[in-house]
Chains A and B, each alone.
Chain A
Amino acid sequence: MALLHIALQEGFTGEPVAIAVDGQEIYRKDQVRTRTQIGHADSVETTHDAGPARIEIRARGTSSTLTPTIAGDLYLAVSISADGRIDHRASSQPFRYM
């Protein structure tokens, strides 16, 4: 089992956010807001078997689906861009904030 860490980072302004992994909802909050001084809003962790995963993120009336292949611990940063797009960035290393 590998760690799947999903960090909600820039661009959240108090909106509801929901995250589902392989169709199972693992996160739902009504108000998610970025603390701009650290560029972080919230995060959630789960575990996942090695192999393909389907991660769906819903926020601001839109959704984004990612289908990474899990091979080890995965850190996924999710941000909302100025034009309302859901952006993501994957890393094998933990995120750092300051």
Chain B
Amino acid sequence: MKDVDPISEQDSVTTDDSIDALHARSVSGLYATLGGIPGLELADEAGEVDLDAAGPSLIPALAGEELRLDVDGRYPQMTASGTIPISPVQRLHWIANVHATGPHTWSGGIWYKDPIVTPFGYTTVDIKVSSTPVPAIRKAKVVFNGPGLRPRVRIFRFRSQYFHKVEFEYDSESAITPLTTVATCAHPNHPATLPCENVSIRKVFQRAGFDASVTPASSTLTSPPGTTWSDMEMHDAMIVYWSKFANTAQWAFWVLFADQHDFGHGLGGIMFDDIGPNHRQGTSIFYNSFISDVPPGDPNPAAYTARNRFWTAVHEMGHAFNLAHSWQKSLGAPYGTPWIPLTDEPEARSFMNYPYGVAGGDTAFFADFEYRFSDVELLFMRHAPARFVRMGDAAWFDHHGFEQARVHPEAPLSLDLRVNRTRAAFEFLEPVVVELKLKNESKAPHIVDENILTTLDGITIALKRQGSPARQYVPFAQYCMQASPRVLQPGEAIYGSVYITAGLNGIDVAEPGRYVLQAALHTPTGDIVSRPLLLRIAPPRGYEEEVIAQDFFSDEVSRVLAFDGSRVLNDANKTLRDVVERLGELRVAKHARVPLGLAIAKRRKVLTVAPGTERTMRPAAAVGGSIKLEAAQPDRAASELKNALLTNADVAAESLGHVDYKYYVDELTRLLENEGESEEAAAAQDTMYQILAARNVLPSVLDEIAQRRQELTSTAKPSKKSKGKGI
């Protein structure tokens, strides 16, 4: 046996020669379909798998599907799992227990699917893997079967011998030398059958199924002598020192090797990051703690300490993968719910148990310990939905609105989601209007549908409140417009606006807090994805705002705001009037005045039905219904709109957004012009010109406004108000 100095490993980002032979001559690992073009992945290029024609799919192929096959290699769990895109923002996750049915074939029942309500009726899988020893050309054919369903066939290509990637960064206090490798037989108390080798932390996680790498950039922290660490200080240090820190979910986390926690000698390490919205991104190991204590008479004190330090580091890192202690597996509410029903494993020889907690203490533990996680833990790490395992993740599909987007490799267009303000901060109650910009980034003209930013045809907008699941924005109205091809010259762009606060999904962006919005344009050659837009909704500033919010955040009010007014949704109009009268100084009042004004700016058609007692729905005509024209109230409409748009016009342009602001001022202008107030109409255009010019709106838009202003000025007659004043 070679005695190894168990000091620091020289780990770096994965290189071929350092990869542990996890699945040598095995087929286990990650597979993926080509994705993108439904049906294409059914082609049998290898010619060795007998393909059936796939039946009509319950689940459309939106992008690549994944398969994780776990049937051989290190610690096989005899499990297959996979993900299937079911919408641009969501994946179905399935898991099956499988058994071998022949050479390179496995079958078994699907026992887990998430989300559970997805109409996915397949109950079994039959898997066949090509026998080639060359991973690069290895394929797997999966046939999904279910009662009454035609088989669903998918062909996957081998991608990796690992199930997921993960990256660690080791930082340490200046007096600490991190120990990240241990010699398994350095201490005489070990299983007789344990291979004697140097095992690194990285190798432990590779064997657990992860393509683990260690960030080359590590930092040394210098802290004042005699001081200890609080959780808050470690969290702050993580933000400063971890080169990959982000308030987001990612397969990466930070490991701090430190002297001692505030808790004292009795705390060997902690996954300290249960602070803020993105947990499990940081762990610490404390060398000035009991893990460095050696029992009297131990035959190899140095090896005993080294093993304890190594073991503790992996234990804490295991918590970052959301692994509970072995005796806590069944723990339910209020701490959380096990991802599947689990039983405790108080005697497990796992990194997640306390060695001194088992019968016989740590002598008994290490006599049987094989430097591994338990099968239950490996099943979770390899096959549970990623959001349960991935560091920083929270609830279903947390954060990654377009995780599976087929991002266009050389997109000629860019899509931008933005707000017309320097800081994307909104008052409580203020409706959120975002602007979409589609720009030709190429050096050649590009044809787009001119209406695409109105119809949102082929555009998905995902939005997510911090700490909540992501949602897909679904507008109240779906416009079906004839495509209107338009040539976008290089550098040219088209613009649109979206009232994002509410839609058919309900009210999405209203509660105080931080939100992330992202848009994707789906094209046949790939998705064009916007950068995430981060915005914040401020909390209410008083009791009155809270009270009005109870009526304001309703489906009816949201529809009136989305459709710029209503003549029939009287409760909603009453609420908007209430907003104007009680919260007139707030931005929401401007949004409220616009539909109140536009609804009465012109004559409007209204369906009227006499009140009746019929319980059966009948055609309106059959119960005396008719469409009637209701008169306009131009003076009241103009008053509302002028208050909304021309008083504090800069605030109006910012809050309503430039695109909508121009549309509304043009409507006001038309109203005034029709009423013979051309001079006032010209003044409205002039105000808009000044405001938008100051806000650096495109010259072409300003030219258009100037031209309209000029037309109105040249046709202006003395207004009713100026008559008799000799103007």
Q: Give A96 to B312 CA distance when docked, in angstroms.
A: 12
Surface stretch bound by A, among B191-199, B268-276, B696-704: B268-276
Interface-lining segment among A19-27, A35-43, A55-63: A35-43
Partner of B266, one of A37, A82, A95: A95
- When A97-B266, A98-B312 are in contact, do A35 and B274 touch as well, CB less than 8 Å? yes
Contact, CB under 8 Å: B335 / A98? no
- Chain B residues within 8 Å of A36, by CB: 324-325, 328, 331, 335
Q: Does A68 contact B (CB under 8 A)?
A: no
Nearest-CB residue, chain B, relative to A94? B266
A10 to B270, CA, bound (A): 16
| A96-B290, A98-B291, A98-B312 known; A39+B266 contact, CB < 8 A | no
Given contacts A10-B328, A36-B331, A39-B328, contact A98 B274 (CB under 8 A): no
- Produce 1/0 per residue, B649-676, CB < 8 A to A: 0000000000000000000000000000
Is B66 part of the contact surface with A, judged by Cβ < 8 Å? no
Given A96-B356, A98-B312; A38-B274 close (CB under 8 Å)? no
Bound Cα distance A66, B356 (Å): 24
User: Could you list some 22 contacts between A and B, CB below 8 A?
Assistant: A10-B328, A13-B334, A14-B334, A35-B274, A37-B270, A37-B274, A39-B325, A82-B330, A82-B331, A94-B265, A95-B266, A96-B266, A96-B267, A96-B290, A97-B263, A97-B266, A97-B267, A98-B267, A98-B268, A98-B269, A98-B312, A98-B316
Chain A count of residues within 8 A CB distance of the other chain: 15
CB distance from A35 to the nearest CB of B (A): 7
Contacts of B274 in A (CB 8 A): 35, 37
Tell which of A35, A94, A95, A98 has the most Cβ of chain B within 10 Å: A98
Question: Do B328 and A98 touch across chains, with their CB atoms under 8 A apart?
Answer: no
Number of interface residues of B (CB under 8 A): 25
Which A residues lie within 8 Å of B271 (CB)? 37
* Docked complex Cα distance between A34 and B324 (Å): 13
B350 to chain A, nearest CB (A): 14
Q: Render B255-281 as a binary contact track against A, CB cut-off 8 A, 1 for contact.
A: 000000001011111110010000000
Main SS class of interface, A? loop
Complex alpha-carbon distance, A36 and B274, angstroms: 10
Q: Are A38 and B267 in contact (CB under 8 A)?
A: yes
Tell me the residues in window 4-28 of chain A with beta carbons closer than 8 Å to chain B beta carbons: 10, 13-14
Among B315, B319, B330, max chain A CB count under 10 A is at B319
Closest beta carbon of chain B to A15's beta carbon, Å: 11
| Interface: B354 (CB within 8 A) | yes
How far does the Cβ of B717 sit from chain A's closest Cβ, in whole Å? Answer: 75
Q: Is the CB of A97 within 8 A of B268?
A: yes
In the complex, the answer to whether B268 meets A96 with C-beta atoms within 8 Å is: yes
Contact partners of A14 in chain B: CB under 8 A: 334
CB-based contact A37/B319 at 8 Å = yes
Cβ–Cβ < 8 Å partners of B331 in chain A:
36, 82
Q: What 0/1 pattern do residues 83 to 98 of A give for CB contact below 8 A with B? A: 0000000000011111
> Distance (Å) between the CB of A12 and the closest chain B CB?
10
A34 to B290, CA, bound (A): 21
Contacts of A35 in B (CB 8 A): 274
Which of chain B's residues 310-364 have a Cβ closer than 8 Å to chain A? 312, 315-316, 319, 324-325, 327-328, 330-331, 334-335, 354, 356
Bound form: Cα–Cα A95–B265 in Å: 10
* A34 to chain B: closest residue by CB: B335
Contact A98 B324, beta carbon cutoff 8 Å: no
Asked whether, in the complex, the Cβ of A38 is within 8 Å of the Cβ of B270, the reply is yes
Bound-state CA distance A59–B356 (Å) is 27
Contacts of A38 in B (CB 8 A): 267, 270
Contacts A82-B331, A95-B266 supplied; 16 other A-B pairs, CB < 8 Å: A13-B334, A13-B335, A14-B334, A36-B325, A36-B328, A37-B271, A38-B270, A39-B325, A39-B328, A82-B330, A94-B265, A96-B266, A96-B354, A97-B267, A98-B315, A98-B354
Contacts of A13 in B (CB 8 A): 334-335
Cβ–Cβ < 8 Å partners of A82 in chain B? 330-331
**Cα(A30)–Cα(B467), bound, Å:** 27
Complex: how many Å from CA A98 to CA B319? 10
